[in-house]
Chain A
Amino acid sequence: MSYKVTEDGNIATIHLDGEIDMDVTEKAKEVIFPHIEAGKEVHLNLSNVQYMDSSGISVLIESHQKALEKNTKVIIKDVSKSVLKVIMMAKLEQILNLE
């Protein structure tokens, strides 16, 4: 997994790239969580993530919940069809902020 972060005011846009599985979840958390903890609105662009397993979904849930605690939000943007399918299988499309 690789990533790119850009910041514009209070918005941190994080582009993840590659496959998100158990092997990279700690790295994904290290990239995402500090921005949430800093109170930023995080835009998580998943257009280049073609595979995500339950560990990756857990990162999305944890990010969403952390953001609520910090009175901010995580918006998941441009989710690929294959990842959307997994999000829907987990019945999270109404819980997570998808755009």
Chain B
Amino acid sequence: MSETAQSNHTEKKDFLVRSSSLKDVRTFCREVFEKLQIEQNLKDELVLAIAEAAQNIVKHAYKDDPQTDDKMVVQISCKDNKLQIGFYDMGTPVDPNKVKHREIDNVKPGGLGTFFIQEIMDAVEFKDGKKPWINHLVLTKQL
């Protein structure tokens, strides 16, 4: 833990809901985590978790609208050693009860993104999206 990571810090950025935006999401996260001086291993894990959550928005919330011009917002906050990452989108409402990863021993393509998120983060919470947002996902990690 660095002094920087302990300080309060919030940044957010919007991205077009497209798979081509995922690289930009990762770049944004890496830049923020660089400022927070989060060590490399943890940074890699956090970037993966965030990119998987953003991918879920593209892949699932906008499954029926792949050419959308909608934006999703990623907000990274660090307060009192607690990292909170918020995702906002206006896609199909997510039913949290249906968000499950595949059985990890049942090896087949797909179903790993949510598993990675749950492995890396301390908490995964779907909140009610406040207008104009439909979905609001919050990932947290104690640093």
Interface residues of A (CB under 8 A from B): 19, 21-23, 51, 53-55, 57-59, 61-62, 65, 82, 85-86, 89-92, 95
Task: Give the contacting residue for A23; candidates B22, B41, B108, B112; CB below 8 A.
Answer: B22
A22, A54, A65: most-surrounded residue (chain B CB, <10 A): A54
Contact B107 A95 (CB under 8 A): yes
Cβ-defined contact, A22 with B22, below 8 A: yes
Q: Within the complex, what minimum Cβ distance (angstroms) separates A74 from chain B?
A: 13
Residues on B lying within 8 angstroms of A by beta carbon are 19-20, 22-23, 26, 41, 44, 47-48, 51-52, 55, 58-59, 104-105, 107-110, 112-113, 115-116, 119
Given contacts A53-B116, A58-B112, A89-B119, 16 further A-B contacts (CB under 8 A): A21-B19, A22-B22, A22-B59, A23-B20, A23-B23, A53-B48, A53-B51, A53-B52, A54-B52, A54-B110, A55-B55, A58-B109, A61-B107, A62-B109, A65-B109, A86-B116
Q: Which residues of B contact A53 (CB under 8 A)?
A: 22, 48, 51-52, 55, 113, 116
| Chain B interface, DSSP helix/strand/loop, else mixed | helix
A66 → B minimal CB distance (Å):
10
A82–chain B nearest beta-carbon distance, Å: 6
Most buried by B among A53, A57, A61, A95: A53
- Which chain A residues border B51 with CB–CB below 8 Å? 21, 53
